[in-house]
Structure 1
């Protein structure tokens, strides 16, 4: 059985940033209920229970794509997005524009990519009063893809519009394994003897 978000052996969902905007996010914004590609899961990435982690346990994948709705900060009059949930937070790192033609800096801007790191907030006592700090990044990284403002307005999207998030877990690589890969890459193919059928 192939679960949503998981692909048959030998296949991998690896769209370009432009494709994520034009072929997935734009159709979802135009038809939120009807457009449900199996390659992009739908999950609340700002849920206190952090159910998105269950998908990684279920599929065994180290990278998954999700549709999620952004949430406006409570008691805020502007368009600020709530990034905290439970005891965790997605901490913004950097962002840049996505163009319809990545090679042409003058081409139409169709979206934005923002990178976040996942951090767990830990409570500390400071002079008898409660305070909090953010722990070190535990390895989760999220790339958030949003529609450009003009495109979002065409379909009536506000700060609660759908976005696509690519969430991945950084893998710890030991020196020995990297050395082994380096040795494999340096093997001369002409030195390998093909003995099939003998």
Structure 2
């Protein structure tokens, strides 16, 4: 059977109309397991990158507008002694969240997958700003019963590769239009500075909040029940009159 290759210049390229939407089990046992044991992959569609965590998510190959991007990532430990990976990039760092999810298969006895969820933060740890970039990192481990305790099982990582799925979480159309490439929401300062006018015609007077004690002055006209809230000492609001 001829091996299908959909990776060109480090980027996956599928024909129009095709989508790559594998399950967690397929990613672990059909792709990651085959990659680690040098078996033939179902299709060459996942690019290889040396430690994905070292790159800002928007700088990785592929189109950021795509729903998901997949990469085989080689492991690069942060310290010589230990298995903790280096997850620091130029603009921030990846931080694990929640507990790892176990992925098992009925035909792979003794071998399971683990899915770790990470979120990208801009800035330096631990004071970075959370973004909407999310990574699912899949690992392959072997589970063996401890010789000293039959009820205890030891998990050992297999191979030098992990499989990463990266996506930009989108909440709504409005938030998409106000989102930077880093996944942070933009704020329109000019819009926030404009005075706001409140119409109390449709609001019952008993439900109105008590006036707060502040330096903001308010002028109300009894003819149309519209309040003009003006901001003292502000040049942009000096031209507004009272109704």
Q: Deviations over 1:136-176 (max 9, x none)?
A: 2x211100100013499696x3xxx100000011224137x
As a proportion of its length, which structure holds more helix?
1
Work out whether residues 99 and 108 of structure 1, in 8 Å CA contact, stay in contact via their aligned partners in 2.
no
Match of 2:113 among 103, 107, 111: 111
SS at structure 2 position matched to 1:68: strand
Q: Deviations over 1:38-78 (max 9, x none)?
A: 32111231335x48734233x8523111000121112x422
1:23 pairs with 2:30: yes
Work out whether residues 67 and 164 of structure 1, in 8 Å CA contact, stay in contact via their aligned partners in 2.
yes
- Extract unaligned runs of 5+ from structure 1: 102-106, 123-130, 176-198
Work out whether residues 63 and 166 of structure 1, in 8 Å CA contact, stay in contact via their aligned partners in 2.
yes
User: How many positions carry a matched residue from both structures?
Assistant: 154
Q: Tell me, in whole angstroms, the C-alpha distance in 1 between the residues paired with 2:93 and 2:163.
A: 18
SS at structure 2 position matched to 1:56: coil
In the other structure, the counterpart of 1:162 is 161
In the other structure, the counterpart of 1:79 is 83
Work out whether residues 21 and 145 of structure 1, in 8 Å CA contact, stay in contact via their aligned partners in 2.
yes
Work out whether residues 98 and 109 of structure 1, in 8 Å CA contact, stay in contact via their aligned partners in 2.
no
CA RMSD of aligned residues (A): 3.4
In the other structure, the counterpart of 1:9 is 16
- Extract unaligned runs of 5+ from structure 2: 1-5, 145-154, 175-243
Task: Report the TM-score, using the length of structure 1 for normalisation.
Answer: 0.64
Task: Report the TM-score, using the length of structure 2 for normalisation.
Answer: 0.53
In the other structure, the counterpart of 1:100 is 105
Q: How much has 1:114 moved relative to structure 2?
A: 0.6
> Max radius of gyration: which structure?
2
In the other structure, the counterpart of 2:138 is 145
